[in-house]
Structure 1
Amino acid sequence: MWSRHLLALALALAAPAALAQEIVGDAIPKSLTGQPGDAARGRAIVANRSVGLCLLCHSGPIAEERFQGDLAPSLAGAGTRWSAGQLRLRIVDGSRLNADTIMPPYYRTTGLQRVARNFEGKTILTAAQVEDVVAYLVTLKD
């Protein structure tokens, strides 16, 4: 009996995230939160090496941050190259587009390997943070 209740609870908690992540082509067209993100907060997340970790691999138009990455594409012009939905999917789970990507899935909790116990079942970014980063990246038009 308890196992049925636990299963129902787990499904109920997972359903909103799963529904919000409907993939169409190479994009997640709908916001994960139903609300637009905030570009200023998104820029802060991208620049913060202890939150977004973006600049470990990417470079971008964030002059105050020295020692930016060169393993991944520059974020400059991201809003020209990709739509909000395409950026959203790349942040949520880039492995859906490239199984060999080294970019971690920022909004996925299943099918992961070598996750420290204190991070199990947690996403790197919240849905709101993903939307904030998307809002910032779409402003980068070169």
Structure 2
Amino acid sequence: MAAALCAVLVTAGVAGGAEVAPGDVSFEDSAVVTAITSEPGNPEEGAKVLANRGLGNCLACHAVAALKKEQFQGNVAPPLDGVADRWTPEQLRAIVADAKQVFGEETVMPGFYSLNVGVNVRKNLVGKTILTAQQVEDVVAFLGTLREAQ
């Protein structure tokens, strides 16, 4: 039920199988109000992306109790438990898409759907994002399930 509600919350705006290009993502007051793909985010897929060391690699820095089976969770960044109580889906989308737009240039969190990735980018990765638009929406949907215990 919560996953379905979250999927509804994170989708609004992009029509007909389209996705917003990384350079066209609109940040407003530390939020990305419009979904960047027309497909709803899938929390189960988002959990996989978040835990995948070759994709999101979020667990290198963050800990997530819901993924306790995953080894070697980080303690460099805040735990993600309860993140849905602290941030709206629109704010979470902005953080995942390009954390520098929210936290400033000093953050070490990468922009997962941004082409502003710095210098000395490996040539075969120039012009590519870390995650696809759908993967961003999936991660946001998963993060939307992470509430503080009642």
Structure 1 unaligned regions, length at least 5: 1-14
TM-score (norm 1): 0.84
1:1-142 aligned at under 5 Å gives the runs 16-17=20-21, 18-19=23-24, 21-61=25-65, 62-97=67-102, 98-110=104-116, 112-142=118-148
Please report how far the alpha carbon of residue 77 of structure 1 lies from its aligned counterpart in structure 2 after TM superposition: 0.6
| Structure-2 separation of matches of 1:58 and 1:106 | 15
Verify the 8 A CA contact 2:20 2:133 in the aligned structure 1: no
114-123 or 104-113: bigger deviation: 104-113
Change (3 A) 1:38 1:127: same
Q: Partner letter of residue 145 of structure 2?
A: T
Would you identify which runs of 4 or more consecutive aligned residues in structure 1 move more than 4 Å? Answer: none
More helix as a share of residues: 1
Counterpart Cα distance in 2 of 1:95 and 1:105: 7
Q: CA RMSD in A?
A: 1.5
Match of 2:8 in 1: none
**Residue 7 of structure 2 corresponds to which residue in structure 1?**
none
* 2: CA distance, partners of 1:111 / 1:127: 16
- The percentage of aligned residue pairs carrying the same residue is 40
Max radius of gyration: which structure? 1
Query: Within 2, Cα distance between the matches of 1:72 and 1:38?
Result: 24
Q: TM-score, normalised by structure 2?
A: 0.79
How much does 1:23 deviate? 1.5
Unaligned runs of at least 5 residues, structure 2: 1-18
